[in-house]
Amino acid sequence: MKNFILFITVVLCYFSLTYLDTTYITTSSKIFDFLAKDYPSDVVQNYMENQKKWWWSNYLATPLLISIKVLLVSFCLNFIKLLDLPGLEKVKFSDLLTLVLIAEFVFIIAGLYKFVNFYWIDTDYSIETLQTYYPISLLNLREFISTEKWLAYPLQLANIFELFYWGILAWGIWEISEQKISFPKSLGLTTITYGIGLIFWVSVVSFLILNAQY
């Protein structure tokens, strides 16, 4: 029941961020101006009409995508039980689900940060700016590092919120073990479980982007 309530809360928070983004940030006028530079007006108009018609699809996909992400991260963390360390022998998968759902609020805060940035601070933005922006990440310095498309996703993941996410996962493992293992060791466990899974995922995404370029 606790995990269900947490899941619903996370989904509602993402729904709110989606509403704020589509209403105040990624507005129809911004999208129209962006597409009008490269496509005929009738094509742009058809696209905008389809956007209005299928507005609910983002909300429908959100619970599914969150479920997949939470399950995959929990699955990776579940491998800590194979190491036979004190305090981890009785860890339940539901405990890991709770931990991952709590950690997900870090990215909700990141989404709120992005909204605040473009709504109140950097108000003179374009769709291109939105596409190449992630709060406090190396992606924002992409033009100084590399303009290669396949590097965009890794650079996006190199952000302060991802570090906080790792920290919360490590803290959670430390708590679940009833402090029988040290925090540095729990951080190491996060690295060899979630970290390896993340590297694999980033490699797959970057490979697909790289191959799509040719």
10 Å CB burial of residue 197 (0-12, 13-18, 19+) is middle
* Helix spans in 81-195 (H): 93-103, 105-116, 127-131, 142-145, 152-157, 160-176, 183-190
- pLDDT value of position 214: 57
> 18: which 2 tokens?
């989606």
Are 17 and 113 within 8 A, CB to CB? no
- pLDDT of residue 194 exceeding 70: yes
pLDDT at 210: 83
Maximal CA-CA distance, the chain: 65
The total of other beta-carbon atoms located within 10 Å of residue 134's CB is 21
**Which tens digit of pLDDT belongs to each residue from 77-132?**
999 998 888 888 889 999 999 999 999 999 999 999 999 999 999 999 989 899 88
28 neighbors 48 (Cβ within 8 angstroms): yes
Model-level pTM?
A: 0.94
CA end-to-end span of the chain: 48
Question: Can you tell me the distance from the alpha carbon of 12 to that of 34, in angstroms, rounded to the nearest whole number?
Answer: 29
CA distance linking residue 191 with residue 168, whole number of Å? 12
Average pLDDT rounded to a whole number, residues 18-46: 89
Please check whether residue 193 is in contact with residue 77, taking contact to mean a CB–CB distance below 8 angstroms. yes
Question: What does the CA dihedral 158, 159, 161, 162 come to, rounded to 10 degrees?
Answer: 10
**CA proximity to 99, closest of 173, 17, 183:** 173
Between 169 and 208, name the one with better pLDDT: 169
Specify the residue for token string 């990141």: 110
By the 8 A CB rule, do 105 and 168 touch?
Answer: no
Model confidence pLDDT, tens digit, residues 49-89: 988 888 899 899 999 999 999 999 999 999 999 888 888 88
> Could you give the percent of the chain with pLDDT greater than 90?
67
